[in-house]
Structure 1
Amino acid sequence: MKKILTLFAVVGLIAFSSCEGPEGPPGVPGLPGEDGLIAEVYEVSGVNFTAANDYNPIIPLNPAIFDSDMVVLYRLAGVDNGQDVWKMTPELYYFADGRFNFGYNFNFTKNDVSIYMDGNDLASVESSFRTNQIFRIVIIPGYLTGTNKSANKSDFSDYNAVIEKYNIDDTKIKSIKL
């Protein structure tokens, strides 16, 4: 009797598992990019570090980013043979005797990026380092950064390597003017 009940259970299970219903409606289309998630770049020009803003300009992000996103910040440090030279922050400068002079650093929330200068006497830093600076904010979805294996990690210090690694179209940079 147990064998017959087991046989009916197996046959019933097979019969019900092969049933299909009608196909459901299509889902909402996703964003363009890899699996609907894209890395993006904002260029912020006219950034000034002054006593009035406590050497800490705040850059709004609109729309807000996700909690899992990664933000990398680069400062335009110059031009070499017609190519922009981007330095990753934190970026530190020292006096000739090795003492710390000043540096750029940042932190971020879902809604903004706070770029700030560190140093003992920021008012004495040459104006070429304090005024009319240009930064690039690279936002990389956490989904893309969480799968890196140790042998395949990005070199975040190299702006061009990051752009290549995450297939960012460098011609579609969004501008923010302060």
Structure 2
Amino acid sequence: MKKIILFVALISGMMVMQSCVREEVVVDDTVDYDTISEVWEYSNVDFHAGNNYSKFLNFPHAIYSSDMVLVYRLAGGGSAGDVWKLLPETYYFDDETLDFGYKNDFTQYDAKIDLYGYDLAGLSGAYRLNQIFRVVVIPAYYGKSAKGKTVDFNNYKEVIDFYGIDESKFMKISE
């Protein structure tokens, strides 16, 4: 009798164990919710012979090497708001030959802006002194998520709107 009870208990246990199903849940979390675009504003940027008409804008922190960096220069303003021009930016003489321009490159740690052209020492201080630049960092993820959508990178306002950047939260850095 003990053997029959043991046998029934064993069979019952096996049936109970068979009803326990282990389900694996795989979470496909490919969306990076904690990566945000950033804007840093650099003011009082001067270009002169002493710095070889170049300026490094050091980032407050390192960015990912895959991030996209856009650099804009405050070119003017009016009742409609500020006018931001995307670098590289070139100015020409009336005969359409190069006068001067701004160009940039960047690393994970900084952006370098060069003023180049002819007679830079004779160039108006309005283009050399107290310049204001905005560096817009766009995480690489956004490049993948924007498939089928386009943004005009020359239009600062469109970039800010497209990437949902809150301008009230940008960081001001004085050089």
TM over 0.5: yes
TM-score normalised over the length of structure 2: 0.81
Aligned partners of 1:16 and 1:125: how far apart in 2? 83
Aligned partners of 1:84 and 1:111: how far apart in 2? 27
What SS does structure 1 have at the residue aligned with 2:85? strand
TM-fit CA distance, 1:80: 2.1
Select 1:47's aligned residue among 26, 30, 45.
Answer: 45
TM-fit CA distance, 1:154: 1.2
In the other structure, the counterpart of 1:145 is 143
Aligned partners of 1:17 and 1:134: how far apart in 2? 66
In the other structure, the counterpart of 1:173 is 170
Question: Is 2:160 the counterpart of 1:157?
Answer: no
TM-aligned CA distance change 1:51 to 1:19, over 3 Å: same
Select 1:67's aligned residue among 48, 65, 68.
Answer: 65
RMSD: 2.1
TM-score normalised over the length of structure 1: 0.80
Aligned length: 152
In the other structure, the counterpart of 2:115 is 117
Q: Which amino acid aligns with 1:19?
A: R
Higher-helix-fraction structure: 2
**Which protein has the larger Cα radius of gyration, Structure 1 or Structure 2?**
2
Select 2:22's aligned residue among 1, 13, 19.
Answer: 19
What SS does structure 1 have at the residue aligned with 2:116? strand
In the other structure, the counterpart of 1:8 is none
Moved more, 168-177 or 114-123: 114-123
Q: Which amino acid aligns with 2:161?
A: E
- Following TM superposition, where does structure 1 have runs of at least 4 consecutive aligned residues deviating by more than 4 angstroms? none
Q: Which amino acid aligns with 1:152?
A: K
Question: Which runs of no fewer than 5 residues in structure 1 stay unpaired?
Answer: 1-14, 24-33
TM-aligned CA distance change 1:156 to 1:17, over 3 Å: farther
Question: Which runs of no fewer than 5 residues in structure 2 stay unpaired?
Answer: 1-17, 26-31
TM-fit CA distance, 1:69: 0.4
